Structure 1
């Protein structure tokens, strides 16, 4: 019996990740590996070949989610010349990701104790935040004492509000940006 090509294996891995992400977003922590295999239309052995256990699958889905946020920030927020719009766009994207993937956020929090990004993607997101904050301090859009910690405190709040359906998280962004912006 021949082994699948690398391209086939990568396609199957991606199908598993997409299926897991969708199932976790819809049903949260109750999703089992066999369900992911069925949804991805692959055998359970294929799932375990790529992800030796559920924790490895959750880690990969988590990395994928944060990579999507990073890509959005790099492609859509950093290029904006208006720093307030760039920061608002970043916060809004985070809110939308958590709102649309509430179950996934719960799975990530259950697995890691928080929904904060980690590793290289977490570092890259911190760099994006630092770039936005430094640019905002320089151009006078943000307060002179604004820090990347302030920005990520807002990111965490927006994520919590949107994933838990607490109030109007979009209004929260507007109100809090008023406090972060220069007066």
Structure 2
């Protein structure tokens, strides 16, 4: 039976591998291999595979961590915004900043998973927060009455496309999108 020290070391190694992998994916995108991660994390390749048995598992863990961080921001910052319209704006801008900063990671996620969108519990939780933000804005009269979570989802997809393709200024896209949601 492993000691608590062994488990703590293993968890530190896992966290280090994931941190390094995210940085490498952000920098080099889908070109990153498991050996690159091991080398940069200063661990053996066996350590990488012990925690992430496939490259896909590593990419999925990186994606899951990013979605968890976005959700934490949404809950802590966006839901806490005193202005009912500000929460949704904070959320879209934060997502834009994350996607812009991590373009390579987004590409790796899309390549490995077929989509850059969250799924399962992450998606449900993010939709719940977005729904709350839309409802608050509607109750305050700052978000149009016919807006819904699906509209926010569509705007995030458009935002991701603008960033991925470099087809414009994502900040301007976000301002225009928010203007379209205002009542």
Which residue number corresponds to residue 148 of structure 2? Answer: 147
* Count, aligned residues: 181
Q: How far 1:165 sits from its partner (Å)?
A: 2.2
Q: Which secondary structure does the structure 1 equivalent of 2:85 belong to?
A: helix
How well do the aligned residues superpose, as a CA RMSD in angstroms?
Answer: 1.3
Which residue number corresponds to residue 16 of structure 2? Answer: 15
Does structure 1 retain, via aligned residues, the 8 Å contact 2:34–2:45? yes
1:28 maps to 2:29:
yes
Deviations 1:106-148 (A, max 9, x none): 0111112211101211111111111111111111110011100
Which residue number corresponds to residue 85 of structure 1? Answer: 86
Residue segments in structure 2 that go unaligned for 5+ positions in a row = none
After superposing the two structures, state which structure 1 stretch, 15-24 or 156-165, moved more. 156-165
Q: How far 1:66 sits from its partner (Å)?
A: 0.5
The runs of at least 4 aligned residues of structure 1 exceeding 4 Å deviation read none
Q: How does 1:67-146 map to 2 (within 5 A)?
A: 67-146=68-147
Q: How far 1:84 sits from its partner (Å)?
A: 2.1
**TM-score normalised per structure 2:** 0.94
Does structure 2 retain, via aligned residues, the 8 Å contact 1:58–1:108? yes
Which residue number corresponds to residue 64 of structure 1? Answer: 65
Q: Which secondary structure does the structure 2 equivalent of 1:79 belong to?
A: coil
Does structure 2 retain, via aligned residues, the 8 Å contact 1:83–1:141? yes
Does structure 2 retain, via aligned residues, the 8 Å contact 1:28–1:104? yes
**TM-score normalised per structure 1:** 0.94
Q: Which secondary structure does the structure 2 equivalent of 1:83 belong to?
A: coil
1:180 maps to 2:164:
no
In 2, distance between residues paired with 1:25 and 1:40? 15
Residue segments in structure 1 that go unaligned for 5+ positions in a row = none
Does structure 2 retain, via aligned residues, the 8 Å contact 1:101–1:163? no
